[in-house]
């Protein structure tokens, strides 16, 4: 199952618990969202491509009222649900049936949305010759832009991109993503695009590696980091 869409109508993604990029047959995965405002709830959707269509999972845990869930699947598949009650709910969906072979499909394009007051689009170029695997992510301000979450893995010679944006009156966005560089240590990228003041960035890498940066100015910033071996 290949993730092709993920978004929140309400709330924020829980730090370090973003939906996975790819879920092999016979395996399971987990993600979390939470309320992030006074007397609010959380609601979201994650869609995964399979042979024959898409699996669409929706959850809604409002401040007032009952939790609700849905799981739609293509013909030939079935989806069952367990749990899901309470203010801090745990719910499990099980998808069965359909073709045995699951095909990773190209990600769907995000629909056009109004530009936030502040946003930062980050690209991380992996020129190390080793795999980068995401180990942690968090936002200290703002929200993840719909369907632009940090990838779980960035293979050598490839790039990964993500974006966060402001969410509220006169606010900015700030976040950090950490990747494990196989056989070396951690690569940590941090960005801060405040409502008032200058943008700031940092990139820390293991010994015998370098991290260079290009771009990053403006209210709706685009910045690129390139990690290389010395």
Q: For position 202, what pLDDT does the model report?
A: 99
Tens of pLDDT along the chain (230 residues) come to 999 999 999 999 999 999 999 999 899 999 999 999 999 999 999 999 998 899 999 999 999 999 999 999 999 999 999 999 999 999 999 999 886 534 433 444 444 456 899 999 999 999 999 999 999 999 999 999 999 999 999 999 999 999 999 999 999 999 999 999 999 999 999 999 999 999 999 999 999 999 999 999 999 999 999 999 98
Architecture of domain 2-97: Sandwich (2.60)
CATH 2.60.270.50 domain residues, the chain: 2-97, 119-229
Q: Return the CATH number of the domain spanning residue range 119-229.
A: 2.60.270.50
Residues 210 and 187: their CA atoms lie apart, in Å, by: 10
Q: Judging by DSSP bridges, how do beta strands 91-97 and 153-154 pair with one another? A: unpaired
Q: For position 115, what pLDDT does the model report?
A: 84
Whose tokens are 């293509």? That residue is 74
State the pTM of this model: 0.75
């Amino acid at each position: 199952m290949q993730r092709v869409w993920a978004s929140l109508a309400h709330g924020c993604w829980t730090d370090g618990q973003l939906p996975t990029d790819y879920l092999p047959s016979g395996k399971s995965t987990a993600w979390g969202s939470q309320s992030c405002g006074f007397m609010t709830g959380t609601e979201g959707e994650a869609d995964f491509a399979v042979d024959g269509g898409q699996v669409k999972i929706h959850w809604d845990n409002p401040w007032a009222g009952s939790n609700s869930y849905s799981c739609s699947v293509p013909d030939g598949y079935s989806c069952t649900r367990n749990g899901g009650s309470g203010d801090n709910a745990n719910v499990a969906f099980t998808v069965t049936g359909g073709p045995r072979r699951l095909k990773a499909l190209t990600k769907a394009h995000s629909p056009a949305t109004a530009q936030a007051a502040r946003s930062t689009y980050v690209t991380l170029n992996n020129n190390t010759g080793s795999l980068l695997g995401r180990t942690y992510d968090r936002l200290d301000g703002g929200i993840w832009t719909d369907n632009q979450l940090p990838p779980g893995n960035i293979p050598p010679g490839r790039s990964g991109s993500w974006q966060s944006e402001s969410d509220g009156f006169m606010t900015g966005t700030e976040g950090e993503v950490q990747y494990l560089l196989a056989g070396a240590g951690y690569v940590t990228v941090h960005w801060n695009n405040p409502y008032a003041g200058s943008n700031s960035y940092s990139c820390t890498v293991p010994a015998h590696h370098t991290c260079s940066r290009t771009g990053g100015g403006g209210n709706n910033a685009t910045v690129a980091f390139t990690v290389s071996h010395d």
